[in-house]
Structures are given as structure tokens and as C-alpha cells.
Structure 1
Amino acid sequence: MTDAPGSPYPRAEPLALDLPADAAALSAVRRAVGRWLAGAGVAPDVVGALQVAVGEACANAVDHAYPEDEPGPMLVRVARGADGRVVAEVSDRGTWRTPDADPGDRGRGLMIMHQLLEDVEVDRGRSGTTVRLRVPARALPERATASGDDLGALRVDRSGPLPRVVASGGLDDDAAAAVRLRLLEGSRGGVVATELDLRAVSEVAAGVVAVVAEVAAIGRANGWALRVLPPPGPVREQLRRAGVPLLD
């Protein structure tokens, strides 16, 4: 899969990673995919969505493809097709085990992928499983900030009883997509109770409030409440008016 002659997008050699299916490799995969997408001229919102989706596909391979004490290979490929679309593939050589019924199980990763991307294909065969993710490639606007920067201001903390998305700095309207991605990541695609910690945030734009309210509605539809730790000041009332449950 290579760029066609005369393509409006920057030429980028395909990314190929051969890694052990180990949880320690997941952060390196996300970083490598993010760098490749930014260099290939992919729009910032697509960068963030595909980073998370590829990470979930890799996590499925880590958790489901091989016996716990016998990790096998995991192959990650990202390239642009002749039609301009970016295609990411995550392959393993094992057999996916049936995920358990716990909503926190990584089997929810497929739901996250479908929430983020329109074109998700899972090919299960005797020699392994390949998850194929396709997204349209749109040129980066001039001086665009890669969404990886916005994602860097948000992290998912799973050390407590509930997943908690922790934010810092200012969350302007440009950060709304990153907030949605992290909340979907923390909530396993909207099915696991999650908290959002905004106490270290200096600004919360209206677009971010709208996204938080949207995910809160997804939670209610799935029988759980998104709980938000708000910053002091007028943002607290702004979130309350939007119908977002707050932790005092």
C-alpha cells in the first residue's frame, strides 16, 4: 500500500512493527502510530481515533490471542492505500479466547473501535486473527496541532476502583475530540462506569462540556453514571446545567 503518483498527501513509507504480544509494548505502539500518521498528513482527529483503536486491537491480541505464560508475536502495519485511505492492521498468530462477562474485560475493545471508526474488520482464521481499521486520509491544515498533544493532557488512571480520566491545563474547543476519545477509552466504549477529574484544569470550553454531557448520556443509557470532579469556579455550574453528575 503506497501513495499514488500525484497524491496530495505527504509520501510515507508503510509502518511495520513486529512485537511480542505483551502489555509493555502498547504505549510504544501508540506513539509509533501517532508519529507515522502525523508525518503522513492525516487530520488530527483521525490521528487520535486511530491511535486509540490500534491500541485496543493490540490489547485484544495481548489478552486473548495466546496463553498467559506463552506470549506470541503481534504485527502492526499502517500504510496508505492507492485511494488515499489509511489502513492499519494488527495481526497475531494465536486463537482468541472467549472474553469473560466482566465489562472491564478487553473484549470491550471491539466496541471502542466501532465507536471511533466506521470501517472495522476482524478476520479470524486458523493461522491467527487480523483486525483491519480503515479511515479516510485528510490533509493536515497548516500549522495544525496533532491531536496527540491534546491527548497528552489527558490520561486514563486505572489504579482506583473505577477508571478515571485525569485532565490538566486548559481544555479549549480543540481538545473536545481528545476528551471524547479518552472517556471512551476509559469507559471501554461507553459500557464501564468512569470518572473524569477536572480539578487541575484551568479552562473548560463549551465544546468540551458538550462532549462530557454526551458521554454522560451514553453512560445513563448503559446503566452507569459518569462522575465528574469539577474545578472550582463557574465551570462547576456550567457542567451542572448540562446535566453532568458532579462529585463534590
Structure 2
Amino acid sequence: MRRLVGDTGFRDDITVLAAQLRAAPAGLDLLVPARRENLATLRSGLDSWLSDIGVHGYHVQLLQHAVGELAANAVEHAYHARQPGLVAVRARLTAAGDVLARVVDQGRWRASASDPDSDRGVGLALVTDLVDELRLEHDKRGTTATIRHHPWIPAQSPIAADLAGRLPRRPADADPFLILGQPSAARHRVRVDGPIDSETAPTLYTELRACTAAGTRDVTVDLTGTTHLASAGVAVLHRLCTQAARNNTEMRLYAPRGTPAQMVMSLARLRHHTTDPDGDGL
């Protein structure tokens, strides 16, 4: 400490700031056919890359949902009434520590106002709320959606980084979509695990509509295990809750604070519970 403070005269209340110089990580470059079943592949690739550059937790959720919405938008709208083309996801970490991600297609832009599928506007609105910046550019060559977000990336020792690199990665298929009845619960209740995106949302609608007898039966929908809630899923849940209200029944959506579903439903202003509405009656 004497060598650090020299002849400054300070002997206590000294703050030491340590900085870590890290090599610039490689960028992400994914290219897949614009099909719903490939959305999970894009999310998995982004998740692995974010882990490689040291982004974890809450910021991973934000970026996963933002990029997922933009990719789903390209899949659903870019090649409307045309042979599906390709969608690319490219990302890099800037010198300022921002994650800069682009979703690129070669289709045709369709403005939300003239789009009969209102889910599109919901998705873009969610992206705007999730990240620091969203920019859309479109011309005859296609559309590029660019997001910029500044995550908090903690410093990591070289030893810890080396150990992390040796850990096995979670396989891409470790996130199955499941709708599970809970017959032992005190009240009618189902649990939804895995991603709810444009591929799985139709199944969610069909199954929940069936288990509520077309909205005439109360139900609690436990979204604790939902790993991704896209705007297509938000639209389905909103539609089902509206149907229940018209029949004087209740669809209770439950997602604890900090979960992906709770984050998205809060942004979408979709009414939900953050504490279990069934209490201890499971």
C-alpha cells in the first residue's frame, strides 16, 4: 500500500480501482431459413454467444426477447405470399461495451397500419421497451432491424473464464414446450414450460381453450417455467383472458417476479399475479 499511495499523505479511506483489459470477442453470425421452427435455433445461438462474452441474467432475457421478436417478425411478415427466404442474426460487442445486434431479411416491408395481423405492432413495441435503441431500415433489398443495448458485464479472472469455457453447454433441445395439467391442485390449474413463440402459440391457444371449455371454466395458468414469451404468446393470453371475462370466468396468469413471462407481461400491461393466486393449495 505504501508503494501505491507514495507521498500523498493519505493513510486510510483509499479506494483501489482495478481494470481488466480483455480481447475483443468474436461476433455472432447466424443464417437460417425464415421458418418458425428455426426461431429456437436463433435463440440458442444468441444465448451461447452472450454467455461467451460474459452477459448473464436479466440482460440475456432482454436481448433474447428483443432479437426473438425481430426474428419472428421477419419469419411471419417479410416473405408474405412468397417463397420463404433467409433471416440473418448478426451481433457484436462494441468498444463502448454495447451489444449491437441486427436481424436482416430479404423480404418486403409491410407497415403495421396495413397489416391485418395486429400482433406485429405489439412485438415492435415490446422491443422498444426492452432495449436501449431500435432502428428499422427497409428498401427493395429487404429490412434490417438494429438494436443497441448496454448490458452490465462483470469482470472475470482469467482462471474463472477458463473454467467457464470448459463447462458443458446446454443443448439446444433442452427447452421443450410443455403444457402440463396439475390434477392434484386445489383449483383447476395448468403449467406452461418452455418457449411460447409464433411456433408454439397456436398450440397454447388450442390447449388452454380446451381445458377451460372455451372460456367457461376458471383456471390458473402457471408461467413460472416459461422461458420465452413472444408477442404471439401475449396475444394468445390476452385473447383467452378476454374470452374468460366475457363468460364471467377467470383466467389467472401467474409468473413470479424476475421470470421472463413476468417481465414481458408487465411491459405488455397484461394483468397477472406475481404471487401464487392459489396460495398453498397445490
Query: Which of 42, 49, 55 does residue 55 from structure 2 map onto?
Result: 42
Residue equivalent to 1:128: 142
How far 1:24 moved relative to its partner? 1.5
User: How much does 1:94 deviate?
Assistant: 1.4
Amino acid in structure 2 at the alignment position of 1:35:
S
| Correspondence for 1:27 | 40
Change (3 A) 1:141 1:165: farther
Asked if 2 retains the 8 angstrom alpha-carbon contact of 1:196 and 1:228, the reply is no
Say what the alpha-carbon RMSD is for the aligned residues. 4.2
Q: If the length of structure 2 is used for normalisation, what is the TM-score?
A: 0.57
Could you tell me which of 57, 61, 65 is aligned with 2:74?
61
Could you list the runs of 5+ residues in structure 1 that have no partner in the other structure? 1-5, 169-177, 199-203, 220-224, 237-248
TM-score w.r.t. the length of structure 1 is 0.64
Residue of structure 2 equivalent to 1:106:
120
Structure 1: distance between partners of 2:279 and 2:74: 44
Larger-gyration structure (1/2): 2
Q: Following the alignment from structure 2 to structure 1, what is the Cα–Cα distance between the partners of residues 279 and 38?
A: 40
Shift, 1:91, TM fit = 0.6
| 1:73 positional shift | 1.7
Q: Which runs of 5 or more structure 2 residues have no equivalent in the other structure?
A: 1-18, 161-169, 176-192, 210-220, 242-250
Number of the residue aligned with 2:187: none
Matched residue, 2:96: 83
CA distance in 2, matches of 1:60, 1:119: 17
Q: Which has the higher contact order (CA 8 A, sep 6+)?
A: 1
TM-aligned CA distance change 1:110 to 1:85, over 3 Å: same
The alignment-based identity, stated in percent, is 28
Is 2:233 the partner of 1:186?
yes
Name the counterpart of 1:167: 224
Supply the distance in 2 between the matched residues of 1:129 and 1:191 (Cα, whole angstroms): 29
| Offset, 1:127 | 1.3
What is the match of residue 215 of structure 1?
266
Alignment length (residue pairs): 203
Deviates more, 1:68-77 or 1:127-136: 68-77
